[in-house]
Structure 1
Amino acid sequence: MSPKYMKMLSAMFDGSVTSLEVFFLTLIFSIPLALPIALGRMGKDKVLSWITNIFLLVIRGTPLMLQLLVVYFGPGLFVRWLVSMGFDVSFRWDRFTAAIIALSVNYAAYFAEIYRGGIESIPKGQYEACQVLGYKRYQTFFRIILPQVIKRIVPAMGNEVITLVKDTALVSVIGVSELLMVAKERQGALFSFAPLFIAGVFYFVMNWFVSIVFARLEKKLNYYH
């Protein structure tokens, strides 16, 4: 294999590692963050529910690419404005960190709505039965309700996670050198379709793996039938 193609494969390996880091870090932060958002949306506090609803509307109603740009460039512009007002402020923003924050907040909003649908699908009679048996509210939620919710939301969560695999390519808009960005650069340098083909195979294999994981998870949770 020629040195050019060896260099291409090395660069694409590094890009794939970055894509995997973005993928897993987004899941680690967004999945737990979604639960308090969902509970805030469903809570009896009307002010909190209204604020959460507006937040969800903004996040779900604007493009992820725009959110990436806002998260990355927004703080710097705000600091410039403070400096122009006479404040002595400095700020340094990391592209990768900005990408993780934007993706985590975006996917937390979508996961929160999935959680909400799962929680509201549980019959009220189960809450009443737990109350009669003397369960406290947190015991009812975490021991009785949440396990059933997890079973019901697995298919919808799987769809969102598959979408996340592909959305990792969007972080290139703020200069994060992930797989697709590297593939485009190498395609131009080599005048070859091979880098894009390799990137396509990577995304396909990743989504195949995610599909298998969620299929097995759904099968393991069948005892709730």
Structure 2
Amino acid sequence: MHYISEILPSLLAGAGMTLQIFLWTLIGSLPLGLVLSLGLISKIKPLQWVINFYVWLMRGTPLLLQLIFVFYGLPLIGVVFPRYEAALFAFILNYAAYFAEIFRGGLQSIDNGQYESARVLRLSYGQTIRKIVIPQVVKIVIPSVGNEVINLIKDSSLVYVIGIGDLLRAGNVATARDVTLVPLVLVGVIYLLLTAVTTFVLRQIEKRYSYWK
């Protein structure tokens, strides 16, 4: 217990960095994913092709490779990001692609009669999307979005490869220094706690929208 009390502050500091990346990625990727999904169902073919290529590229290559490319590759063409900003940039672009596909499926599940009824009520396209379509889409996509949110908690450990002091890096440093697996066990416990709290919050959100059944 004495050893745990010694290493716990550094692990919690790493967990704080993990949560920062997690929260900022959600804040950036969810709205971007929604906007991209509207482009995916747009009648403007060139826009569809561009966004489909982007989604294919982001989903078809590993997030780790994208992270390394942003931090180590882009400087070769003069685009330089600090470590933290590089991580956020790569994570937001990657998760926005996944969320775009999720939202696209939700948007396409809305019956065309909903749009026709909105036109009868003389609602604009923006009002239709904002007041009629999106509230229904949110309920439909919550389980799929929740799965990606859980994955994001675990994927945040990838920032270790570009030297950011996240939870996993703190655990690895303590393990290498003290030659014991206790830090990694604690890292696992903290990840499990973060996942449990996130799962609970997502379940509450699902219950919040259950009255639309």
Tell whether the structures are fold-level matches, with TM greater than 0.5. yes
What's the CA shift for 1:28? 0.7
Task: Find the aligned partners of 2:80 and 2:86 in 1 and give their Cα distance.
Answer: 11
Asked whether the equivalents of residues 150 and 195 of structure 2 are also in contact (C-alpha less than 8 Å), the reply is yes
Aligned residue among 114, 117, 126 for 1:126 = 114
Aligned to 1:74: 73
Alignment of 1:1-225 (within 5 A): 2=2, 5-79=4-78, 92-225=80-213
Verify the 8 A CA contact 2:150 2:198 in the aligned structure 1. yes
Q: Distance in 1 between matches of 2:120 and 2:17?
A: 51
AA of the residue aligned to 1:56: V
The residue type equivalent to 2:58 in the other structure is: I
2-side partners of 1:175 and 1:7: how far apart? Answer: 22
Q: 3-state DSSP class of the match of 2:122?
A: coil
Deviation at 1:78, TM superposition (A): 0.9
Report how many residues are paired.
Answer: 213
TM-score (norm 2): 0.96
Deviations 1:23-57 (A, max 9, x none): 11111111111111111111111111001100100
Q: Deviations over 1:180-222 (max 9, x none)?
A: 1110111111121111111101111111111111111111101
> 2:74 touches 2:80 (CA, 8 Å); kept in 1?
no
The RMSD of aligned alpha carbons is 1.3
> Identity across aligned pairs (percent)?
40
- Alpha-carbon distance in structure 2 between the residues aligned to 1:18 and 1:142: 34
Give, in whole Å, the separation in 2 of the partners of 1:177 and 1:167.
14
Shift of 1:92: 5.0
Matched letter for residue 126 of structure 1: Q
Q: Where does the alignment leave 5 or more consecutive residues of structure 1 unmatched? A: 80-90
Q: C-alpha separation between the residues in 2 aligned to 1:45 and 1:180? A: 44
* TM-fit CA distance, 1:10: 2.0
Partner Cα separation in structure 2 for residue 92 and residue 54 of structure 1? 24
Structure 2: gaps (5+ residues) = none
- Aligned partners of 2:124, 2:135: CA distance in 1, in Å? 16
Shift of 1:74: 2.1
4+ long deviations beyond 4 Å: 4-7
CA contact (8 A) 2:71 2:80 kept: no
How much does 1:6 deviate? 4.5
| CA distance in 2 between partners of 1:38 and 1:92 (Å) | 29
Give the secondary structure class of the aligned counterpart of 2:164. Answer: coil
SS in 2 for 1:67: helix
Specify whether residues 78 and 209 from structure 1 end up closer, same or farther in structure 2 by C-alpha distance, changes over 3 A only.
Answer: same
Q: Secondary structure at the match of 1:177?
A: coil
Structure 2: distance between partners of 1:5 and 1:165: 23
Aligned-residue offset at 1:137: 1.0
Secondary structure of the residue aligned to 2:209 is helix
